[in-house]
Structure 1
């Protein structure tokens, strides 16, 4: 049995670290394509340019069009080639990271990830989630290696909307429970083998950190401040969750998230918000003890994460729509088949409605 744990080449986190970007990545190449939203470019360009001032490295800033789709990946690949860039830096959030990683992969250049929010565990992984132009889940792109560098400037992250940090907490919330399911089923992980004890310990530490510091961190970020709790949650959302999910595996929670992408009502929710509800559905699906379900529901309520279908934007529950979610969650190749028992769309349908009933009870 082969056990594998993988991680980025270097993880850097600290207050004001963006100004040290050159120091951490100057050896990777001579011309850097920096991918960010238009607003992200406005917010970070001056600091990045100052970091590279006096060096012989050229910078090319290119706005991201908003969706990690095949068309956007191809477009940015052409931008990279036409400018002779030999490094990609993704600055911003999850879809930008996934796009940057895919562009780097298809053009065989290094990739650097610079989160300005802590809303997903995408930064550290050797994985890109590809969507259609309409925002529906399309496929996982498994990459041969993790990013060379992940750099998190917590002074920037703490100034982002608190809802984004909460969404990251929702994404990280699934890590331990999906890891546990994969270990019970002896599933292969995205790292290319079975889970290591180290990776599962990281997944457990991720959950403990969320419970201990999640609410404190959210309150601090609502006041645009960075405390030790914020530092701990940024690490949990980004690094602990990233290593935990990739080297232990995904299961039902993320598959159920993918299922909900088919419903237009939930398109306004962030990835981690949908994953949080998917976690609750997974716990119902595996008939977890009520005290564990209570702990998760109460934590989600504290953080402001969805626990009902109404929270997911679904004001009117339609049987056909929920079954579509369940069927997409059970699509061929989905991670729901890492659960330690057989799962059918009808089971997921029932678990979604069961989770909704529990959520409404505790609200």
Structure 2
């Protein structure tokens, strides 16, 4: 079986990179830029972004991102594009804004530059867009024609985001190594369309090691307004290492369980990476992982303020049949649960979530 590794054509990370966006677009010689931008970013950094494009001599059209990253919204944006003028799509904002930009570029047949303003997910570097229904339920993974052309991570900007978002990105990144390991054991075909490569697995492992080594310090530095080396390391782990690691290393139970949890309205307010953190603990329960590993993951989550119990997910009073329904959704045909190295039933997932909840309530 062949191995396939995907990665962005260019990954740029550093302070002050927002001021260079116009230059990066000009270098592509693609024409007018169409930017899908988070409303908050427009309100705070809009003039800075416009000045960058003016300095680069590139025309810019803006659209504020609203609602969900849904197929309906993507279709609407594509229908509004003036393709005779627009030559590149930009996504500036959080994960759903970036996934919308990726999906728009896919259907419009245009290159895309992604500018994550938070490090809360590994969406920026992947060749996949996660689509949701308008009510927030998970819809599907959309495989794109190619990886993003350019990813620009401004660490100074990202460090100003709420610390909860950086922690959520760490929760998402936490699953990368364990899911890649499961795929490696099962010989699963990854999101890239082949077996996981040595490169992807190595990046997934480096992602986990970076989280354990620098995670706590990075969170404290962000709380204190410092853009330290540790912050830069975690930004790279959350965005690049996790992005390449999950896509070319593979997804498994952790993201399958996350997808199942999205059907529960009670935890819709919980961020993607927060749900993935708990789901990672549940995957380890499915695998009957050694206590040393369970303790390391649970301890990391507690230190980062990530959920390790059902109550912390807003599911303290969830009815057993509802939790079982989420378990059943996690085992949906064609989903990442199929990549586990053993057969997993909804009853197994239900038991694993309860076991993770019990483990999360323990002090050690």
Pairwise same-fold verdict (TM > 0.5): yes
Kept in 1: contact 2:38–2:94 (CA 8 A) = no
**Cα distance in 2 for residues equivalent to 1:123 and 1:2:** 25
Residue aligning to 2:100: 99
Asked whether 1:187 is paired with 2:188, we answer yes
Residue aligning to 1:14: 14
Within-5 A mapping of 1:11-160 = 11-28=11-28, 29-81=30-82, 84-160=85-161
Deviation at 1:58, TM superposition (A): 0.8
Q: Deviations along 1:97-118, whole A, 9 cap, x unmatched?
A: 1100000000100111001100
Residue aligning to 1:312: 313
Deviation at 1:43, TM superposition (A): 2.2
Kept in 2: contact 1:213–1:229 (CA 8 A) = yes
Deviation at 1:204, TM superposition (A): 0.4
How many residues matched?
363
Deviation at 1:346, TM superposition (A): 0.6
Q: Deviations along 1:37-95, whole A, 9 cap, x unmatched?
A: 21111222222222222444210110111310112111211232378422110001100
**SS, match of residue 86 in structure 1:** strand
Kept in 2: contact 1:119–1:164 (CA 8 A) = yes
- TM norm structure 2: 0.97
Kept in 2: contact 1:36–1:64 (CA 8 A) = yes
**Cα distance in 2 for residues equivalent to 1:66 and 1:206:** 31
Kept in 2: contact 1:33–1:85 (CA 8 A) = yes
Q: Deviations along 1:309-341, whole A, 9 cap, x unmatched?
A: 001011213110110110100011110110000
**Cα distance in 2 for residues equivalent to 1:221 and 1:75:** 37
**SS, match of residue 69 in structure 2:** coil
Structure 1, unmatched stretches of 5+, are: none
Kept in 2: contact 1:216–1:229 (CA 8 A) = yes
Within-5 A mapping of 1:145-294 = 145-294=146-295
Structure 2, unmatched stretches of 5+, are: none
Kept in 2: contact 1:297–1:362 (CA 8 A) = no
* Alignment RMSD: 1.2
**Cα distance in 2 for residues equivalent to 1:289 and 1:81:** 56
